[in-house]
Chain A
């Protein structure tokens, strides 16, 4: 026997901290006292994701959403809503008051996410093609092949305003039209599934959860530009996604949705998977093409652009996984539906991998124009452990570090560029007061120096020099001249590197110098790391008033840097101290400070 109604009380950390548990108990009591114990179940949930307006109470099956509920409201909810059937309107979530960035009917605003790309992830079994088909899968392909001309398809994509989701944001319809305009002959569709940004896994999840969306999109693209062959270039580090893709290809071919004469339309298209081999630079489109051709993954100068002269010299369209996942939806729901979502210049949604010092880390998909604040504090549930927000990093190693003053920036391509970052592929890393900004810049340079292909001098040599300077600074040996040299090198790298890797590798440095110069100054002038991350800048000191002379620290010190008599306060010699932190860990009397 199931209950008639369910009252869900958010038990997330944020709601808990504002009397959430009290509320839960109050509701349970109210249910009991009103004799409803067999009809209404009060359940405590995990975080329901709308932390700014907590405590949250949801009533099902009506799907009522109450916000800012106090324990004192419990009785009223039971009496009015449960018993009499009247919702308590003053507690209802007021949609009009929230910041509205999307003017589309049907979106429940309390749910800030809007899953277009991820529409099927979590809803279907990716191993079963019938489930994809049941949720309107391959319907867009039908429409394209039988009700639209290739030019119609391109026009629709252009009208939608879809821009490349790999990071560059180039209008997809325009790219397709360049390739379509080339004389007929062998052409190719290529899906860039190399996803190399550290911390980004949007494409992986899409491919694992909804592989057919990409296959369908590539087939539609092939139809639009006149290509009969497609390649999916996927990094070898994604074995599950590769398996799901291979399975999806097999099933699609069995159904004749790939191969010769698809659905009797006369159009033929097939797809081959090619694996990457561990090179971030092969996510750059010309290096990717070189890799497919069997050559070293080194970028080539553009022009000519791949749409004109790409794989083996033939017109080639390369699209990111997320860009492609949008295609079937645009054809089915229409470009006009799509271009109402988002901002004036950036239409549609964007998938972000929200990670870092955040409570609700995960994959989110929001309409363009959603602010950073909404993403981090509403959807993300705020900073873990209640620490202070310091910065957000978007765009991976090519992106910039965004300080708190820009939290209300609506996210789109242009706005992010204006504040010194980029949209990138969707990585969004949240940092708190315990993260050291120069250290973060160092982390990213470490990555790009390792991944640089080495072809052009500005990136190959400049990147290493930048990293060396950052090492110096984090080591307490930096100078202001180093900062000047870093600016000079950053300029040369961004203006004279051959490809996007080198051109953007200095972005973490440039944006952090722009907004966090104070932290650099502290590292250089005060030899201090306020986040406590740069080991060599930490000073360990023994508080003489707390030290009892137990000698535990002196015994554990590997550098013999602690001196003191038994039962006498000890002292640390900061010259010989190697900052290993062992003394700090072992002291039972909290006599050692570290800063």
Chain B
């Protein structure tokens, strides 16, 4: 990665923003985002993360991008996982252990069904729109 000039930075930003709008980051059209703040990790987010990846592999699903993020603020319900699938509402799940992680893959991703008892509300308005 070379040092950016002002133009380089602006071009890079444009590219990345367009990519996000297209919801098509490198050929994947769905995203599972696992919260990996210290609170999440302490509650088992690493196991959840691995379980999700393993389940996706086991079911041979390749169109889902799994990402990490920081604390979403729902510390009372860690581990938290955000799931973005085209044609479905974006949802944040709470109390996602490895089992529920697998359920996300099978129910939400594959069967397009939301999972009962785990949905939390996105806590606040996104000011960067």
- Within 8 Å by CB, do A and B touch in the complex? yes
Using a CB–CB distance below 8 Å, which chain A residues touch chain B? 1-3, 6, 8, 11, 41, 43-50, 58, 60-61, 106-108, 111, 113-116, 118-127, 130-131, 133-139, 142, 146, 201, 204-205, 208-210, 238, 240-241, 251, 254-257, 259, 263-265, 329, 333, 359-365
Residues of chain B within 8 A of A120, CB atoms compared: 70, 128
User: CB within 8 A of A209: which of B4, B71, B113?
Assistant: B71
Q: Is there an interface contact between B121 and A240, defined as CB atoms closer than 8 Å?
A: no
Q: Is there an interface contact between B6 and A43, defined as CB atoms closer than 8 Å?
A: no
How far is the CB of A56 from the nearest CB of chain B, in Å?
8
Give Cα A127–Cα B16 distance, bound, in whole angstroms: 15
How far is the CB of B124 from the nearest CB of chain A, in Å?
3
24 contacts between A and B (CB under 8 A): A2-B88, A6-B88, A8-B114, A46-B120, A58-B121, A115-B126, A120-B70, A121-B70, A121-B72, A122-B35, A122-B72, A126-B68, A127-B68, A133-B9, A136-B13, A139-B13, A142-B10, A204-B37, A205-B38, A208-B71, A240-B37, A263-B4, A362-B74, A362-B77
List of 10 A-B pairs having minimum Cβ-Cβ separation, nearest first: A209-B70, A256-B3, A113-B124, A122-B72, A45-B119, A134-B16, A362-B75, A60-B89, A2-B112, A48-B121
Give Cα A401–Cα B6 distance, bound, in whole angstroms: 50
Residues of chain A within 8 A of B20, CB atoms compared: 134
Q: Counting CB contacts under 8 A, is B50 at the interface?
A: no
Give Cα A318–Cα B87 distance, bound, in whole angstroms: 47
User: CB within 8 A of B123: which of A3, A265, A364?
Assistant: A364
Q: Is there an interface contact between A240 and B76, defined as CB atoms closer than 8 Å?
A: no
Q: Is there an interface contact between A119 and B128, defined as CB atoms closer than 8 Å?
A: yes
Give Cα A138–Cα B122 distance, bound, in whole angstroms: 26
How far is the CB of A160 from the nearest CB of chain B, in Å?
14
Q: Counting CB contacts under 8 A, is B5 at the interface?
A: yes
Known: A3-B112, A122-B70. A106 touches B5 (CB 8 A): no
B118 — nearest CB in chain A belongs to which residue?
A: A46
Known: A6-B114, A254-B1. A126 touches B95 (CB 8 A): no
How far is the CB of B65 from the nearest CB of chain A, in Å?
10
Residues of chain A within 8 A of B12, CB atoms compared: 130, 133
Q: Is there an interface contact between A122 and B128, defined as CB atoms closer than 8 Å?
A: no
Residues of chain B within 8 A of A41, CB atoms compared: 113-114
User: CB within 8 A of B125: which of A48, A61, A115, A135?
Assistant: A115
How far is the CB of A465 from the nearest CB of chain B, in Å?
37
Residues of chain B within 8 A of A240, CB atoms compared: 37-38, 41
Q: Is there an interface contact between A49 and B69, defined as CB atoms closer than 8 Å?
A: no
Residues of chain A within 8 A of B1, CB atoms compared: 251, 254-255
Known: A2-B85, A46-B95, A134-B17. A113 touches B123 (CB 8 A): yes
Using a CB–CB distance below 8 Å, which chain B residues touch chain A? 1-6, 9-10, 12-13, 16-17, 19-20, 33, 35, 37-39, 41, 67-77, 80, 82, 85, 87-89, 94-95, 112-128
Residues of chain B within 8 A of A361, CB atoms compared: 75-76
Residues of chain B within 8 A of A238, CB atoms compared: 38
Give Cα A123–Cα B70 distance, bound, in whole angstroms: 8
Q: Is there an interface contact between A114 and B125, defined as CB atoms closer than 8 Å?
A: yes
Q: Is there an interface contact between A122 and B76, defined as CB atoms closer than 8 Å?
A: no
Known: A2-B87, A48-B121. A363 touches B4 (CB 8 A): no
Q: Is there an interface contact between B118 and A49, defined as CB atoms closer than 8 Å?
A: no
Give Cα A256–Cα B7 distance, bound, in whole angstroms: 13
Residues of chain B within 8 A of A263, CB atoms compared: 4-6, 9
Q: Is there an interface contact between B9 and A125, defined as CB atoms closer than 8 Å?
A: no
Q: Is there an interface contact between A11 and B74, defined as CB atoms closer than 8 Å?
A: no
Residues of chain A within 8 A of B5, CB atoms compared: 263-264
Residues of chain B within 8 A of A363, CB atoms compared: 71, 73, 75
Give Cα A259–Cα B7 distance, bound, in whole angstroms: 18
Q: Is there an interface contact between B120 and A45, defined as CB atoms closer than 8 Å?
A: yes
B122 — nearest CB in chain A belongs to which residue?
A: A111
Known: A1-B112, A125-B69, A362-B75. A131 touches B16 (CB 8 A): yes
How far is the CB of B20 from the nearest CB of chain A, in Å?
6
Give Cα A400–Cα B14 distance, bound, in whole angstroms: 48
Give Cα A6–Cα B113 distance, bound, in whole angstroms: 9
Give Cα A133–Cα B35 distance, bound, in whole angstroms: 20
Of listed B13, B16, B127, residue having the most chain A CB within 10 A? B127
How far is the CB of A115 from the nearest CB of chain B, in Å?
4
User: CB within 8 A of A359: which of B76, B80, B122?
Assistant: B76
Give Cα A284–Cα B25 distance, bound, in whole angstroms: 44
Extra A-B contacts (12), CB below 8 Å, given A108-B125, A265-B6? A43-B114, A43-B115, A48-B119, A49-B120, A124-B69, A126-B68, A133-B16, A208-B37, A209-B70, A254-B3, A255-B1, A364-B124
Residues of chain A within 8 A of B88, CB atoms compared: 2-3, 6
